[in-house]
C-alpha cells in the first residue's frame, strides 16, 4: 500500500459534506464514459473529452471559491505536461497529468473562504486548517483507477524533497513523480500570481526564487531532476503563463451563453 494511503487511514480522515456533491459529478463523468464506450469505440476522443470536461468542472468550483478566474488550473496542467515531456515520461502520463493536475487543490472546497482569501498571514491554527486540503482532496477524488494520478496529486502536491512538506512529510523518491512535478509547477504559478496576501512576481524573479531560494522557498524543496528540467524549459513556462493569463471568466461565460440583443 502506498504510504499516503496508509497515512489517510491512520488519521481517520472524515469525508467532508462536499464529497457527496463531487461524487455526483464523478458518477456523471463515468456514466458519460460508459455511454460513449458502449456506443462506439470510434468515440474514444469524445470519451476523453467528457472526462477532461468533468475534471475541469470540479476544479473550477474551487477556483470560484478562491475568487480566481480558473486559468491557474490550466497553466499548472500545461507546466506539468511540459516538465513530464522534458523528463521523457510516456505520452499517456503526459496527457493524464495535463488534465488531472487541475485536481491539486480540489480539497480547498472544504476550507473556509475567510482563510482562503485572508489578506494577512494565517495564524498557526488557520494554517493547520489550510493544510488539511490535501487529505480532503484525496478523499474527494476517491479510489477509481482512472483518477489515481489526480488523487496522488491532490495528496502530495505540497510534499517537499527534503521532507519538510505536508501532509505526510514524504522525502525524496517516496514522493510519487506526479507530486514531484506539480510541486514546482504550482510553486512557479503561485509566485507569478497575485494573491490577497502578496503581489505577483515577474518571470525572472520567480525563477530566481525557485533556483536560488528566498528563505521560504528553497531549491532543496524540489526533486533535483525536476528542478533541472525546469531550468531547461523555464522560458517556455513564461510563454505559457503569458498565453494563459488570468481573465474575466464570468464575462466570457456571459458572452458564450447569453443571447445577444438584436
**186-226 residue pLDDT tens:** 999 999 998 777 889 999 999 999 999 999 999 999 999 99
User: Residue 117 and residue 68: Cα distance in Å, rounded?
Assistant: 10
User: Residue 67 and residue 69: Cα distance in Å, rounded?
Assistant: 7
Could you tell me if residue 190 is inside a domain?
A: yes
Helix/strand/coil for 124: helix
Say what the pLDDT of residue 249 is. 45
Q: What is the mean pLDDT of residues 66-74?
A: 73
Could you tell me if residue 52 is inside a domain?
A: no
Say what the pLDDT of residue 122 is. 93
Say what the pLDDT of residue 66 is. 66
Could you tell me if residue 175 is inside a domain?
A: yes
pLDDT over 60 (residue 256): no
Contact 139, 131 (CB under 8 A): no
User: Residue 261 and residue 151: Cα distance in Å, rounded?
Assistant: 45
Nearest to 225 by CA among 163, 169, 183, 186: 183
What is the pTM for the complete model shown? Answer: 0.79
Say what the pLDDT of residue 167 is. 97
Say what the pLDDT of residue 11 is. 45
pLDDT over 60 (residue 262): no
Residue range 9-67, pLDDT digits in tens: 444 445 455 555 666 666 666 666 665 556 555 555 666 777 787 788 778 777 766 65
Could you tell me if residue 83 is inside a domain?
A: yes
The verdict on whether omega for the bond into residue 167 sits within 30 degrees of 0, i.e. cis, is yes
How many structural domains comprise the chain? 1
Q: What's the mean per-residue pLDDT of the chain?
A: 83
Q: Residue 235's domain is classified under what CATH number?
A: 1.10.3210.10
Residue range 105-152, pLDDT digits in tens: 999 999 998 998 888 899 999 999 999 999 999 999 999 888 999 999
Say what the pLDDT of residue 69 is. 52
Residue-number span of the structural domain to which 186 is assigned: 71-245
pLDDT band at 253 (very low <50, low <70, confident <90, very high): very low
Say what the pLDDT of residue 23 is. 64
Say what the pLDDT of residue 74 is. 92
Could you tell me if residue 90 is inside a domain?
A: yes
Could you tell me if residue 202 is inside a domain?
A: yes
Could you tell me if residue 251 is inside a domain?
A: no
User: Residue 167 and residue 96: Cα distance in Å, rounded?
Assistant: 24
Amino acid at each position: 500500500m502506498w504510504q499516503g494511503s496508509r497515512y489517510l487511514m491512520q488519521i481517520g480522515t472524515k469525508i467532508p459534506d462536499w464529497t457527496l456533491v463531487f461524487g455526483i459529478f464523478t458518477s456523471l463523468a463515468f456514466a458519460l464514459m460508459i455511454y460513449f464506450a458502449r456506443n462506439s469505440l470510434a468515440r474514444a476522443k469524445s470519451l476523453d473529452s467528457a472526462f477532461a470536461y468533468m475534471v475541469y468542472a470540479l476544479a473550477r468550483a474551487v477556483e470560484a471559491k478562491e475568487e480566481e478566474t480558473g486559468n491557474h488550473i490550466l497553466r499548472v496542467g500545461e507546466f506539468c505536461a511540459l516538465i513530464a515531456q522534458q523528463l521523457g515520461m510516456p505520452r499517456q502520463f503526459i496527457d493524464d497529468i495535463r488534465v488531472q493536475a487541475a485536481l491539486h487543490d480540489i480539497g480547498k472546497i472544504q476550507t473556509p473562504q475567510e482563510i482562503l482569501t485572508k489578506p494577512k498571514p494565517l495564524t498557526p491554527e488557520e494554517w493547520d486548517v489550510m493544510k488539511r486540503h490535501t487529505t480532503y482532496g484525496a478523499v474527494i477524488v476517491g479510489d477509481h483507477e482512472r483518477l489515481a494520478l489526480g488523487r496522488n496529486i491532490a495528496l502530495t502536491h505540497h510534499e517537499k524533497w527534503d521532507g519538510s512538506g505536508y501532509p505526510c512529510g514524504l522525502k525524496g523518491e517516496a514522493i510519487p513523480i506526479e507530486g514531484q512535478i506539480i510541486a514546482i509547477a504550482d510553486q512557479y504559478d503561485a509566485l507569478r500570481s497575485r494573491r490577497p496576501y502578496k503581489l505577483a512576481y515577474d518571470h525572472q524573479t520567480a525563477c530566481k526564487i525557485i533556483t536560488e531560494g528566498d528563505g521560504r522557498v528553497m531549491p532543496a524543496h524540489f526533486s533535483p531532476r525536476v528542478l533541472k528540467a525546469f531550468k531547461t524549459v523555464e522560458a517556455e513556462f513564461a510563454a505559457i503563463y503569458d498565453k494563459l493569463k488570468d481573465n474575466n471568466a464570468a464575462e466570457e461565460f456571459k458572452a458564450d451563453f447569453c443571447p445577444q440583443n438584436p
